Amino acid sequence: MSDHREHRGHYRMRFEGLADGHVHRDPAELAPPADRVPEVRPLRRSAADRATGVHRFETTVAGWAFVVAVEDESRALLREKAGQGAAAGATHRAAVVRAQIPGRVIRLWASEGDTVEAGQRLLTIEAMKMENEVRAPRAGTVESVRVAADSSVELGDELLTVR
C-alpha cells in the first residue's frame, strides 16, 4: 500500500527543533533566488511515524536546513487534546523527589507548606566533598519533607514531596 494517498483535508506542519514552530527571520532573507526553487526531500519514516501518520521532510531555504513534520490536522488536534489532558492530570499528582546520589543533607531551602517554582532550590546534598542542589521538578507546594539537615541519604531515598 502506498503512503502517498490523496487527502482533501487540512494538514499541520511543525518545524522540528524550534520551540514555537516559527522561524524568526526576515522573509526577504528566506526567499529563494528567482532561478532556484528550495529542495524538499522526504525522509525515511520510522515505525512511530507510520503509526502516528507523520511524514517528515527536509528542506533547505537560503542555506538554512529544516526538518518539517507534516500530519493530518484532525490527528494533530487529537494529539494536542490528549497532551493537555495528561498535563492537567499531572498537576494534581504529587511529585516525589528522591535522592539521585548517596550523601549527607547539609541544608534545607524549603519546608512543609512552602510554595515553590519549578527549578527552585529545595535542599543541598554533600557527596564526596561536592555540594549538589536538589531542585523542584515543577511548581507547587511542598507537602512533606522526609529529611533533616545533617541526615544521611541513600540513592533513591524519598526526600520530599511537591504537590
Return phi, psi of residue 64, to 5°: -100, 125
CA distance 158 to 111: 15
Give per-residue pLDDT as tens, 69-114.
888 888 878 877 887 765 555 556 788 999 988 999 999 999 999 9
Give per-residue pLDDT as tens, 13-57.
777 765 544 444 555 555 556 666 677 889 998 888 888 888 888
Domain residue ranges of the chain, discontinuous segments joined by +: 11-90, 95-162
pTM above 0.85, yes or no: no
As its CATH architecture, domain 95-162 has Beta Barrel (2.40)
Grid cell 512533606 is found at 144
